[in-house]
Amino acid sequence: MTALLTAEFRKVLSLRYWWILGIAPLLVGLFCGALTLPVARQLELGFGDGFAEAVAAAVGISLSLSLVFLFAAIFGAVATGSEFAHRTIVTTFLTARGRDRVVGVKFATVAVIGLLYCIVTEVAAAATLVLFGGGFDGADLGSVAKVMGIGLFCALMWSLIGAGLGLLTRSTAGSVLAICAWVPFGELMVSVVLHGLGLGAIASYLPAQVTWYVLFSAVSMPEDVTLEMTWPAAPLLLVLWTVVLGGLGWWRARTADVV
């Protein structure tokens, strides 16, 4: 198992896509951290104490995290789907003791890289928040740290979702296009349609919206803001999405014929 895990990491790290996909969220994290806290502090006089730090956590870090989740999912899809696209999956299965080991190692590798994306981006965003914003007091630091901790959980879930889609579709292009179309646009359109049909409650169960509920339901919100889903329902539902999509990908990888 250790040899298989080492081989998988070497396979991934020998290609460029693993670090290329991490550039975009890192740059967004740097710019968001550098801009949001100073700008928000200029507006704090009209909104009250704590406004700037709340905006920094909600926008400065959360915006960069949204790209982390997207690109972690894309990496997962590329890492698992590329073997089918390049027809190397047969060799991989033949050199391992069973398909379950191969799939398990792929999920583990994807999870580690997805967490790495999140850690690097969060550190960059937090460093620029401190550098350009003058730092946080104890309460503000706790709020930002909570968002960052939850970000790691969400990045892990989305990397596994992407890996599951890659195994399920057996297509790098198909799974990547599905993720890129669904997360920014598709889910929004489906949500609008559901609200138009009077089924808006169903929209809150969609994976991208659930992810935002996981992030924002764990931090202090204004009294007039009511979230449709809070803890622990939100993270449990995100785990359910991960189990379903990852499980379907795992099932197809271990049962379907490969050529």
The predicted-structure confidence for 181-203, as pLDDT tens digits, reads as follows 988 888 889 988 888 888 778 88
pTM, entire model:
0.85
Which among 155, 154, 129, 151 has a CA at the least distance from the CA of 140?
129
Q: State the Cα–Cα distance between residues 16 and 92, nearest whole angstrom.
A: 20
Q: Is the CB of residue 74 less than 8 Å from the CB of residue 66?
A: no
Whether 118 and 66 have beta carbons less than 8 Å apart is answered as no
Coil, helix or strand at residue 22: coil
What is the per-residue pLDDT for 34?
60
Phi-psi domain of 86 (left: phi exceeds 0; alpha: psi -120 through 50; beta: other): alpha
Helix (H) or strand (E) holding 65: helix 62-85
For the chain, the domain total comes to 1
The range of the structural domain enclosing residue 123 comes to 1-255
Q: What confidence tier does 258 reach under pLDDT thresholds 50, 70, 90? A: low
CA distance 249 to 235: 21
pLDDT beyond 90 at 163: yes
pLDDT, tens digit, for every residue of 232-252?
888 999 999 999 999 999 998
The CA–CA distances, whole Å, from 50 to 53, 64, 86, 149, 219 equal 6, 21, 52, 20, 13
